[in-house]
Copies of this chain bind each other. A is one copy, B any other.
């Protein structure tokens, strides 16, 4: 059937493209945020980077322990650990012919959890808010994964 293929004629794939596009852009935006903070605070991981921006002062030296930069980087790594598996499993899930309403619900819960997870991480919202948002996204990915494995074995 044409409407189960991985192309934009398939409404479910189109929805998957939208939600996963949003979370991937969010993940990539952490690179930009890291770069802006490194430049703004002259906090670089490499000696040669001190030549960038206002870091021309002679005291610039590699720093791997700035709390703000390291927090953004942990948030970024957490995205890589969660958003990429969601995408990979989601692609298999869409090709497995799932219930469209369930699939759309999964995509929305995951996207909502991960957007709020970033807010909770960067704004230091008191726990267990971040832990619950992390768990919500993980449960969605695992539900899709078990469905894929069950159908494929």
**Interface residues, chain A, CB within 8 Å of chain B?**
4-8, 13-15, 17-18, 20-22, 24-25, 27-28, 31-32, 35, 45-49, 51-52, 71, 74, 76, 80-82, 84-85, 87-89, 91-92, 95-97, 121, 124-128, 130-131, 134, 138, 141-142, 145-146, 148-149, 151-153
A140 to B152, alpha carbons, bound, how many Å?
22
Please determine whether A138 and B51 come into contact, CB atoms closer than 8 angstroms. no
Closest 9 CB pairs of A and B: A18-B152, A17-B152, A21-B149, A51-B127, A17-B92, A21-B148, A7-B95, A14-B152, A25-B145
A149 to B14, alpha carbons, bound, how many Å?
9
